[in-house]
Homo-oligomer: A and B are copies of this chain.
């Protein structure tokens, strides 16, 4: 029977390389994946044939034959939020020295969307999965538990990892920022929050804990909205908060975008920062230290989280079962001018 014309458009296959190098196909496969299992001389012959033909292995065929794709599935709630962009950058950078690909999914902060994407990702049998947060739905959790590959939950840490975790405590972050504001003398400290995803909720809880401990908590100080965060929204939230409680003397913002909106509004309304109003943000974007006045914020290890998540997953793939399944990378309070209140 006449062989069918090559479907693949004439790209060289492993068989072509094998023929040119005068070895069996399987030996080429091994030379490429486990060079130490092939003798020096053959390895060189094969390497030369690969280069001569410009052979690049087909990842699809590889995945099909080995029942495992060299893919890291990554689920984040947003692609444009700078925080997750940094995490994703850390992931990509940490994988650039390997042949792993990244399969990125945007859950839009939706648990259902996360389930759906998980299902899609799983159909590829990924080498590892990285998911954001620790509040997966029960269905998603079950899918992850039976995924048969390393799973890393990122951004937060918690008591019951599906497999591994890398993050920090948003609760402590919020509490630390607010404690600092209380210490330097602010009393009527408002909380401004947008989106209010689980991590925002925990920052709010940290705020509340700090305020209650100091006997300063008042529910009217809290202003939140489910609307996605933006600088514009920061301004609007601040206006609302001030209308509700004109005696406000500080704000802890859910994130830096909101803090920036507050800062701009203070400029516009000629409200002195830090004298009349103190401002603290969360994440410590580059611009916070350049702003005028510079803005106090909680520095979070975004890039490092992506990097570490990949490192842990790769260790597991390589058979070294990491001892620490849950890694807390911490955060750092950056005290700046926006809360530099002259003690009175």
Q: Which residues of A contact B (CB under 8 A)?
A: 7-9, 56-61, 63-64, 67, 69, 79-80, 82, 85-86, 88-89, 92, 101-104, 106, 119-120, 122-125, 148, 230-232, 234-235, 257, 260-261, 264-265, 267-268, 286-287, 289-292
Contacts and interface: CB of A to CB of B under 8 A. Distances in A.
Contacts of A89: 79-80, 106
A258 to B, nearest CB: 11
B92 A85 contact: no
B8 A67 contact: yes
Nearest to A289: B232
A148 B11 CA distance: 12
B232 A260 contact: no
Contact of A92 (B79, B101, B267): B79
B79 A82 contact: no
Nearest to A263: B292
A123 to B, nearest CB: 4
Contacts of A92: 79, 104, 106
Nearest to A66: B7
Contacts of A101: 103, 120
A268 to B, nearest CB: 4
Copies of this protein in the assembly total 2
Contacts of A290: 231-232, 234-235, 260-261, 264-265
A69 B60 contact: yes
**Majority-rule SS of A interface residues:** helix
A123 B59 contact: yes
Contacts of A148: 9
B123 A58 contact: yes
A232 to B, nearest CB: 5
A86 B81 CA distance: 10
Contacts of A88: 79
Contact of A60 (B56, B63, B119, B260): B63
Contacts of A264: 287, 290-292
Nearest to A62: B60
Contacts of A61: 60, 64
Given A9-B67, A60-B60, 20 more contacts: A9-B148, A56-B123, A58-B64, A59-B60, A60-B61, A60-B124, A61-B64, A79-B88, A80-B82, A80-B89, A89-B106, A104-B104, A231-B290, A232-B287, A261-B290, A264-B290, A264-B291, A265-B292, A267-B267, A268-B292
Contacts of A85: 79-80, 85
